Amino acid sequence: MDTLAALLHGFTVAATPYNLLWAAVGVTIGTAIGALPGLGPSTTVALLLPLTYNVNPTAAFIMFAGIYYGSQYGGSTASILLNTPGEPGAMMTAVEGNQMARRGRGAQALATAAIGSFIAGTLGTIALTFVAPLMVKVALMLGAPEYFALMVLALAAVTAVMSGSITKGIASLALGLLLGAVGLDPTSGQPRFTFGIMELLDGIDVTIVAVGLFAVGETLFVVSRRSSSKAEVIAIAGSLWMSREDWSRSWKPWFRGALFGFPIGALPAGGAEVPTMLSYATEKRLSRYPEEFGHGAIEGVAGPEAANNASAAGALAPLLALGLPTSATAAILLAAFQQYGLRPGPLLFDSNPDLVWGLIASLYIGNVLLLLLNLPLVGVWVSLLKVPKPWLYAGILCFATLGAYTLNNNVVDIGMLWLIGMMGFGMRMLNVPIVPCVVGFILGPMLELMLRRALAISQGDPSVFFMRPVSLCLLLLTFSLFLGPPLYRWLRRRSEAARSGGTVA
């Protein structure tokens, strides 16, 4: 009952005209920017961070939640009609939805994606409402060593899951940790890696890192390739409505997708990639028309898109309850909290119930707004897809500099933006994954704080991490993440070698 009362209170916060306005602004801008080709939710959220510098925290986070959810909806439009998934979570939607659009069923693909996102987003938000307070109870029992182990696990998981090559993933993570260490050491007050530059004493701002790596790096990468292949927007033709058959083939995948998305999204390693893949594979196996998959099966859009949105809600649970981001977007949201001097985690539920529950309530509202915004107005978003590439990227770059400059009204930040953009470009060129770097940058300082706090309590004895059962388990899990796959491969190779050796002999 407690939870319901808190949620009700949240609605009274979120439903004030002022906050409703920010929610509406957030979902609209989120959809619009998310629909621009190649811009995924994390880039969108990072680019739009400056909009809220002067807004009060509750309204700012209500708007952010709208941007977060809205960019997912907008992203599905770009994936379906243009085949440009902005993020790995949208990959399956792009594969199957674009095939549907090519067969003249673009409207149905967009509809099943929007309605599925609404249902899964709402289910995910309900789950978030009840899971987050439980997580808070668990979180209150965790000490510094457990938090440290949990963060190590989250970092390891992001590195292992998001990287094609584990060595490059670790390199990316280390670069992120290094960027995070720039500035005054919070415990001893010593400047580290600042090279006597005053502006670096406060550390590098997250907007600079996220926008530099994602937006500027991406722009430089695209311009250096100047690919001749031109993506084509597929016009929507034929019936705009989902037929009875479309509905009957969609509703089960929506629910199953939500079931995959939320729990996996809430795990430290989660993200959106794994649940969307699982949902796609499941729907293909369960479908009565498996031969249609790969040629525009509606289940292949409905399921993964639902899973994608539910995982976005899932990622908010550990973010709000533990202060632990499980995806790049969640990491940027965490940094946004920090900009307001707020620390997500168990204490936030006590100290700022208005903000937390207003935010959760606004997710319900945002989902309804998004459904209204995306079904009738889809034509508006489609026209955004037609923005020519030169102007699109020129605009992105202008927005990036604007965000960097308005941070502190300081030109040094523009220089940092360029440097980090060049770094992002280099990483893209050499196939070094970017997400571990961003998450490492944001978690790094917290990780160091917990490490030092834990060792201060244990008076410098590092065995504290291995003597406490919870932190020991978490650390063992971390090791298995890295050692598991190579060990498995080695064992398989050995058994294969044994088998082939047997046939030869």
> Which residues are near another protein by CB under 8 A?
50-51, 53-55, 164-165, 167-168, 170-171, 173-175, 177-178, 181, 185, 187-188, 190, 192-193, 216, 219-220, 223-227, 388-391, 393-395, 397-399, 401-402, 405-406, 409, 411, 414-415, 417-418, 421-422, 425, 429-432, 444, 447-448, 451-452, 455-456, 459-460
Enter the DSSP assignment of 108: H
Nearer to another protein, 25 or 90 (CB): 25
CB of 32 to another protein, least distance (A): 13
Beta carbons within 8 Å of 50's beta carbon, 6+ residues apart: 207, 402, 403, 406, 407
Q: Where are the alpha helices (DSSP H) in 287-434?
A: 299-322, 328-339, 346-351, 353-374, 378-384, 389-408, 412-429
CB of 226 to another protein, least distance (A): 5
Residues, the chain, total? 505
CB of 40 to another protein, least distance (A): 20
CB of 138 to another protein, least distance (A): 26
Beta carbons within 8 Å of 66's beta carbon, 6+ residues apart: 22, 23, 24, 25, 26, 27, 28, 30, 362, 366, 369
Which of 292, 312, 308 has the alpha carbon at shortest distance from 300? Answer: 292
Nearer to another protein, 30 or 304 (CB): 30
Query: What is the b/e burial string over 240-255, where b = at least 16 CB atoms within 10 angstroms of the residue's CB?
Result: eebeeebeebbeebbb
- The C-alpha atoms of residue 179 and residue 177 are separated, in whole angstroms, by 6
Q: Which two tokens stand for residue 178?
A: 């290094």
Nearer to another protein, 193 or 479 (CB): 193
CB of 390 to another protein, least distance (A): 4
Check: CB of residue 287 under 8 Å from CB of residue 152. no
Check: CB of residue 152 under 8 Å from CB of residue 340. no
CB of 125 to another protein, least distance (A): 28
Task: For 424-485, give the DSSP string.
Answer: HHHHHHTT--SHHHHHHHHHHHHHHHHHHHHHHHTTT-TTHHHHSHHHHHHHHHHHHHHHHH
Enter the DSSP assignment of 50: G
Neighbour count for residue 431 (Cβ, 10 Å): 10
Nearer to another protein, 48 or 139 (CB): 48
Check: CB of residue 52 under 8 Å from CB of residue 60. yes
Beta carbons within 8 Å of 431's beta carbon, 6+ residues apart: 164, 165, 168
CB of 320 to another protein, least distance (A): 26
Check: CB of residue 66 under 8 Å from CB of residue 22. yes
Distances from the Cα of 144 to the Cα of 227, 411, 447, 454, 469, angstroms = 50, 38, 10, 5, 13
Nearer to another protein, 102 or 389 (CB): 389
CB of 389 to another protein, least distance (A): 6
- The C-alpha atoms of residue 259 and residue 116 are separated, in whole angstroms, by 12
Q: Given CA atoms 15, 21, 23, 27 in this order, what sign does their dihedral have?
A: positive
CB of 315 to another protein, least distance (A): 25
Nearer to another protein, 339 or 406 (CB): 406
Nearer to another protein, 255 or 405 (CB): 405
Nearer to another protein, 360 or 397 (CB): 397
- The C-alpha atoms of residue 75 and residue 8 are separated, in whole angstroms, by 31
User: Distance between the two ends of the chain, CA-based, in angstroms?
Assistant: 71
Nearer to another protein, 226 or 285 (CB): 226
Nearer to another protein, 60 or 328 (CB): 60
CB of 70 to another protein, least distance (A): 18
CB of 156 to another protein, least distance (A): 11
Nearer to another protein, 110 or 451 (CB): 451
